[in-house]
Amino acid sequence: MLKIGLTGGIGAGKSTVSTILAERGAVIVDADVIAREVVAPGQPLLAELAGTFGPEVLTPAGELDRAALAAAAFADEESTAVLNALMHPAIRTRTLEQFARAAEADLIVHDVALLVENDMAPDYHLSLLVDVPAAVRLDRLVRTRGMDRADAEARIARQATDAARRDACDVVIDNSGSLEDTRRAAGALVDERLLPFARNLRARRRAERPAVALTEPGTADWTGEARRIIARLRRGTGERHPIEHIGSTAVEDLPAKDVIDLQLLVPDLAAADDLAPRLADLGFPGGEGFDHLGEDGREPKRFHANADPGRAVNLHVRTESSTGARFALRFRDLLRDDAEERRRYGALKRRLVDRHAGDPTACAEAKEPYFAQLRRRLVPESFDS
């Protein structure tokens, strides 16, 4: 099951995109609907709210009086904390129940208005943002919903900024144009990325990679993408393992294959093997691998690659004391600090890609003499004196 988080500011048209995704076969779990369901008449939470905040939060018909609850619960920080302590567990339980019922679905979309505000983006395989500039959303709220302008401005101001949402989400769906434009964009996303990702995830299969090509620096947001992926991996593995962005995409002003390399450190390879099923669940299937150490030396590691066809990621799982782990970090830092070495390596990469563009294995092997030289320089303690 591919878990997708869907969000957008008030007035962005999140429900429109949710409907389109549902038409394409996705199961929708709507956080707003769940929040209403758990306080419906007959639900235990409604009685708890009345017992905590007083019977005046109920209407004469026994339903929740939302205005009265807001007046009581948002009067001070302590009351708000009490409300959250009651609401959040009930909502979480109902949400998990719906996820469990949809376990056999290819796509499940969690529609959450405050996904970014509540730091939920790392909980999903991907987070989608329905994006419309705040000024356009304000105009829509006033024109189409009849909201008072001051009230609409206040609601927008209470939510995350447009920039914060874009920074937190993996995919942006522009909904500032026509409905047909949005339908085409969402449909292409489902067909070209989400469904292939879901199938790869279920098969525990890495996504296919394009031919080797270099992307020039400044044309991709590798740093932002790596940060989001690392946050997802850290949360998904219990915040127990150091994970860092390594390789060429971690270095500014360096041409690179459009592949994000990450390094996850474990105490030993037994821990790496124990972690493998969880990494596969997170979208990173893998198995045994090794690092070349030069002079015919090899060092075992575990190598995982992601199942998402829209973003190539290599995840190197190495032991904390390994030569490969030390070299990866020291080489990255050398390239960040030394402009001449960065230029030299960039020129080498261009020559080898031109020569071996159709053969990534040959391209990688052709770099080994350069790496062997630098390993001796950067990790001298790993060589016999």
Q: How many CB atoms lie within 10 A of CB 381?
A: 7
Q: In sequence order, what DSSP letters do the residues of 34-75 get, joined into one string?
A: HHHHTTSTT-HHHHHHHHHH-GGGB-TTS-B-HHHHHHHHTS
The per-residue pLDDT for 160 is 86
Q: How far apart are CA 28 and CA 110, in angstroms?
A: 6
pLDDT in tens, 319-346: 999 999 999 999 999 999 999 999 999 9
Q: How far apart are CA 316 and CA 344, in angstroms?
A: 25
The per-residue pLDDT for 246 is 98
Predicted TM-score (pTM) above 0.85: yes
Alpha helices (runs of H) in the chain, residue ranges in sequence order: 14-23, 31-37, 44-53, 66-73, 77-101, 134-144, 149-158, 162-168, 179-189, 195-203, 222-236, 269-281, 323-337, 339-356, 360-366, 368-378
Q: Is the pLDDT of residue 273 over 70?
A: yes
Residue 3 annotated as binding site: no
Q: Is the pLDDT of residue 385 over 90?
A: no
More confident residue, 256 or 142: 256
pLDDT in tens, 44-87: 999 999 999 999 999 999 999 988 988 888 878 888 899 989 99
The per-residue pLDDT for 96 is 93
Q: In sequence order, what DSSP letters do the residues of 301-357 get, joined into one string?
A: EEEEE-S-TTSEEEEEEEETT-HHHHHHHHHHHHHHH-HHHHHHHHHHHHHHHHHHT
pLDDT in tens, 344-384: 999 999 998 888 776 777 888 888 889 988 998 999 888 76
Q: What is the mean pLDDT of the chain?
A: 91
Q: Which residues contact 261 (CB under 8 A, 6 or more apart)?
A: 245, 246, 247, 248, 249, 250, 313, 314, 316
Least confident segment among 180-189, 229-238, 250-259, 375-384: 375-384
DSSP classification of residue 249? G
Cα-Cα-Cα-Cα dihedral sign, residues 128, 133, 134, 136: negative
Q: How far apart are CA 58 and CA 66, in angstroms?
A: 8
Where in the chain is CATH 3.30.460.10?
A: 214-382
Q: How far apart are CA 186 and CA 150, in angstroms?
A: 32
Q: How far apart are CA 282 and CA 206, in angstroms?
A: 12
Strands 243-246 and 259-266, sheet pairing: antiparallel
Cα dihedral 302, 1, 237, 308, rounded to 10, equals: 50
Residue 14 annotated as binding site: yes
Q: Is the pLDDT of residue 211 over 80?
A: no
Architecture per CATH, 214-382: 2-Layer Sandwich (3.30)
DSSP classification of residue 191? I
The per-residue pLDDT for 294 is 67
Q: How far apart are CA 110 and CA 124, in angstroms?
A: 9
Return the CATH number of the domain spanning residue range 2-203.
3.40.50.300
The per-residue pLDDT for 358 is 66
Where in the chain is CATH 3.40.50.300?
A: 2-203
Of 256, 37, 235, 13, the C-alpha closest to 123 is: 235
Q: How many CB atoms lie within 10 A of CB 363?
A: 18
As a whole-number percent, the residues of the chain with pLDDT over 90 amount to 69
Residue 248 annotated as binding site: no
Residue 85 annotated as binding site: no
Residue 16 annotated as binding site: yes
Residue 349 annotated as binding site: no
Mean pLDDT across 287-302: 87
Strands 297-305 and 312-319, sheet pairing: antiparallel
Q: Which residues contact 31 (CB under 8 A, 6 or more apart)?
A: 91, 95, 110, 111, 112, 113, 114
Indicate the length of the chain as a whole number: 385
Residue 53: both structure tokens together: 């905040």
pLDDT class for 115, splitting at 50, 70, 90?
A: very high
Mean pLDDT across 92-119: 93
